[in-house]
Every structure is written in structure tokens, then in C-alpha cells.
Chain A
Amino acid sequence: TQLLEQSPQFLSIQEGENLTVYCNSSSVFSSLQWYRQEPGEGPVLLVTVVTGGEVKKLKRLTFQFGDARKDSSLHITAAQPGDTGLYLCAVRPGNTPLVFGKGTRLSVIA
């Protein structure tokens, strides 16, 4: 059983469209991170959310942490081809290394 469930697994959209991807769990976490991984590269941290209900914005990306701190969403407005990549959420259960979800693979077509 995966600690973090990410959906959808794959998403292919046209440039300019909006999209939302999700990261869900039955457990409560003190914080949650989102990473993006481009082909041939390692993941890069986008944001850390720590407060239930928190919303953080990074240009066209909006991240929300659920009120109960069990889930999170990432919304991209007017997607660009440069947004293409694997989006991973990650948590740290207790004092342990990060645990990652399987990710959402996004492809934005020009």
C-alpha cells in the first residue's frame, strides 16, 4: 500500500489549458513537498506546505494543503510546454527520509 497516492498517473494537455493534479493519503503529515522532475534530471523542489488549508503560489502554479493535512493539490494555469515533467509529492513520516508518491507525468503539447 502506497503512503501517497497521486492522480492522475498520466496527463496530456494542450498549451494554454488548466489542470489539477492530486496527492492523497489517509495519514496526517506535518508538511508536504512538491517536486518536478524533467527527463534526464533529478527532482527539483517546487514548494513545501506546512499549514492545513495553506495555499502557495509560484507563478502559474498554485499549491494547496488540505485542511486535515492529509492531501494536497497542484493547479497549473495556462500550461506551457516548459511545464512538462513528472510531478512528485513527498512527505516525511516522523523523523525519516522523504517518502515519494509515484508521480503524475504531465505532457503539455504546443
Chain B
Amino acid sequence: GAGVSQSPSNKVTEKGKDVELRCDPISGHTALYWYRQSLGQGLEFLIYFQGNSAPDKSGLPSDRFSAERTGGSVSTLTIQRTQQEDSAVYLCASSLSAIAGGNEQFFGPGTRLTVL
């Protein structure tokens, strides 16, 4: 596809369940980013990948959050034992490189997660 795609677009889950969110970046983009956007808030940085490695995991809110990227392409963000405060829109973005400054980040439409 031409843009960043994310799935599912919406996810409703019960407190305590695990969820997996998927991001398919633009072909050829080596950098991939995950953000969280809560109602009325800006974008909160979670983690980014340069290739398959994640140099900066400092934004992950807790050890219930993890992410992986294999083959330098698709990434999954996993939230274990979900809590109600995890409810948010999870946005993924990709760019040509995370190293070169000023590179435009292209965002997907997001996954809206609701934890009941």
C-alpha cells in the first residue's frame, strides 16, 4: 500500500486481557514509531525502531507494554493485562530514517483501544 496501515482500527477489550496492535509501515522506511494519544492530549512517544532494533524504549509506560519489529517491516505493540487507563488511540508512523534530522514522519490512521 501507499501509506502506513494499522490494524485493527478499533479494539474493545476487557480489563486484564492482552491485546496486539499491528503496524505496516511504508515500504522502504527503516524507522518506525509508536505513539499514544489520549483524549484531549497530544502525542505521547512510546518507542521507535531503526531497522529491527529499538534504541529508545524510554517512553513505554510500564512493563506491560512491549513492541517488536521483525524483518525491518511490520511491527506489533503488545499490551498485557490491559487497564482502563490504557484506553487511547495508538498511532504508528514511519520515516526513511530515524537518524537523519527533519525526516518527515508518515502516520497511520491509528487503532482506537477501549478497555472496559
**Which A residues are closer than 8 A to B by beta carbons?**
6, 30-31, 33, 40-45, 48, 50, 88, 92, 95-103
Contact = CB atoms under 8 A, between A and B. Distances in A.
Nearest to B9: A40
Interface string B39-83: 011110100100000001000000000000000000000000000
B101 A92 contact: yes
Given A41-B109, A42-B91, A31 B104 contact: no
B56 A48 contact: no
A40 B102 CA distance: 25
Nearest to B108: A42
B101 A31 contact: yes
Interface of B: 4, 33, 35, 40-43, 45, 48, 56, 91, 93, 98-99, 101-102, 104-110
Interface of A is mostly: loop
Given A42-B91, A88-B43, A102-B42, A95 B4 contact: no
8 contacts: A6-B42, A31-B101, A45-B104, A45-B106, A88-B42, A97-B48, A102-B41, A103-B42
A43 B99 contact: no
Contact of A44 (B33, B41, B107): B107
Contacts of A41: 107, 109-110
A42 B4 contact: yes
A42 B42 contact: no
Contacts of B45: 97-100
A93 to B, nearest CB: 11
Contacts of B102: 31, 48, 50, 92
A30 B56 contact: no
Nearest to A50: B102
Nearest to A89: B42
Among A30, A31, A95, A97, residue most surrounded by chain B Cβ atoms (within 10 Å) = A97
Contacts of B41: 102
